[in-house]
């Protein structure tokens, strides 16, 4: 069976990681990436020896790339002509414009969380509604917080049944290296309900969800506290059993040294993961508690990398590579080595990196 040909639009925070993720998939071929300007990420790509072909996004000036010695393979349209599906990680709003190019060429696309839901046929999550995306042309991913939140809620819902969810999201204000939010020493609250709770109900309409979001002046990850009301009482032991079996949830404890968001980022770096990335969400065993019928727990969201597995799932669904969520997510996990540390005693996530 021929490999599915994939292109990436936008080589920024998410686009870099999407390119790496596709390159690790044994049944996909990364044709190339596209960007508008020779950003630091693109300059780093050149210094790495151009492992990926670079195409010029619309509005880009090829001469500027040439001045920096960055080779350009072709135009954005030529990239779109050469693939089966595009992963659009361009800035919010640009994806909708790019869609016109995809439609004209009959090319499928997966859009990231920054686009409006209307850009796609299906608002997609690999575990919660994989089958809805099978053989569809245009899918849109949930945001990083929503992706991780749904993983944990879906995990409990599949096994025990969930009726209601209430979340508090402690949101990092910007990605590492970003300056556009300014230098701050304050917390900022959004109006309730948070869009993550609304998005969860869009993906899982049988669950009632609401929540509050607080912006915090940090960069390494979000934290979410979750209150779950089950169809029947879910005990801490039951929840812990389910969470520990989920490939994309890493259960940790304070006693191990996981004191907060920075602990996860440092651990991922100590593992040797490029950029300090981690595909799993973190879930503190110590945070799981019962309150009457309800259950509470806290999760960590590595915002730069958490959506990459679900994006690989989306490619599999849209291109009909696997038609069931179980098969699709298992294939993605296999190629990204997600959960392999449980069997191998080591974290083999990136042992095929830059192959």
Residue 318: which H helix or E strand, with range? helix 308-318
Asked if 172 and 216 touch (Cβ cutoff 8 Å), the reply is yes
Residue 190 gets which letter from DSSP? P
Active site residue 144: yes
* Burial (0-12, 13-18, 19+ Cβ within 10 Å), 193: middle
Task: Kindly state the tokens that stand for 51.
Answer: 């492992």
- Picking from 261, 281, 251, 339, the residue whose alpha carbon sits closest to that of residue 347 is 339
Residue 129 CA to residue 36 CA, distance in Å, equals 33
Selected catalytic residue, list 22, 28, 70, 144: 144
Asked if 22 and 8 touch (Cβ cutoff 8 Å), the reply is yes
**SS3 state at 103:** helix
- Picking from 168, 121, 119, 126, the residue whose alpha carbon sits closest to that of residue 9 is 119
Residues 6+ apart with CB under 8 A from 159: 238, 242
**SS3 state at 189:** strand
Residue 120 CA to residue 202 CA, distance in Å, equals 13
Residue 111 CA to residue 88 CA, distance in Å, equals 5
Is 35 annotated to bind ligand? Answer: yes
Q: What are phi and psi of 140, to 5 degrees?
A: -130, 130
Residue 275 gets which letter from DSSP? G
Residues 6+ apart with CB under 8 A from 149: 167, 196, 200, 224, 226, 299, 301
Residues designated catalytic? 144
Write out the binding residues. 35
Write out the binding residues for NAD(+). 35
């Amino acid at each position: 069976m021929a490999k599915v040909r994939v292109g990436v639009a936008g080589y920024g925070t998410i686009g870099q990681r999407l390119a790496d993720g596709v390159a690790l998939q044994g049944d996909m071929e990364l044709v190339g990436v596209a960007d508008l300007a020779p950003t630091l990420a693109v300059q780093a790509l050149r210094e790495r020896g151009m492992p990926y072909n670079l195409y010029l996004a619309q509005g880009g000036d090829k001469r500027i790339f040439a001045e920096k010695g960055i080779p350009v393979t072709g135009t954005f349209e030529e990239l779109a002509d050469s693939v089966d599906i595009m992963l659009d990680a361009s800035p919010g709003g640009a994806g909708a414009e790019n869609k016109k190019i995809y439609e004209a060429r009959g090319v499928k696309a997966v859009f990231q969380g920054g686009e409006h839901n209307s850009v796609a046929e299906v608002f997609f999550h690999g575990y919660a509604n994989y089958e809805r995306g099978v053989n569809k042309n245009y899918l849109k991913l949930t945001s990083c917080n929503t992706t991780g939140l749904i993983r944990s809620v879906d995990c409990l819902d599949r096994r025990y049944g969930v009726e209601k969810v209430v979340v508090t999201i402690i949101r990092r204000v910007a990605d590492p290296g970003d300056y556009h939010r300014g230098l701050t020493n304050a917390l900022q609250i959004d109006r309730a309900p948070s869009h993550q709770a609304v998005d969860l109900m869009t993906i899982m309409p049988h669950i009632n969800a609401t929540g509050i979001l607080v912006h915090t002046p940090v960069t390494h990850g979000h934290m979410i506290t979750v209150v779950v009301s089950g169809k029947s009482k879910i005990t801490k032991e039951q929840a812990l059993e389910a969470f520990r079996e989920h490939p994309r949830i890493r259960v940790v404890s304070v006693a191990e040294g996981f004191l907060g968001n920075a602990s996860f980022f440092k651990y991922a770096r100590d593992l040797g993961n490029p950029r300090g990335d981690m595909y799993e969400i973190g879930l503190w065993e110590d945070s799981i508690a019962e309150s009457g019928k309800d259950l509470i727990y806290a999760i960590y969201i590595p915002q730069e990398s958490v959506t990459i597995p679900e994006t690989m799932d989306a490619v599999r669904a849209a291109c009909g590579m696997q038609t069931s969520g179980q098969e699709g997510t298992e294939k993605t996990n296999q190629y990204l080595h997600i959960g392999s540390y449980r069997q191998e005693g080591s974290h083999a996530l990136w042992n095929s990196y830059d192959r």
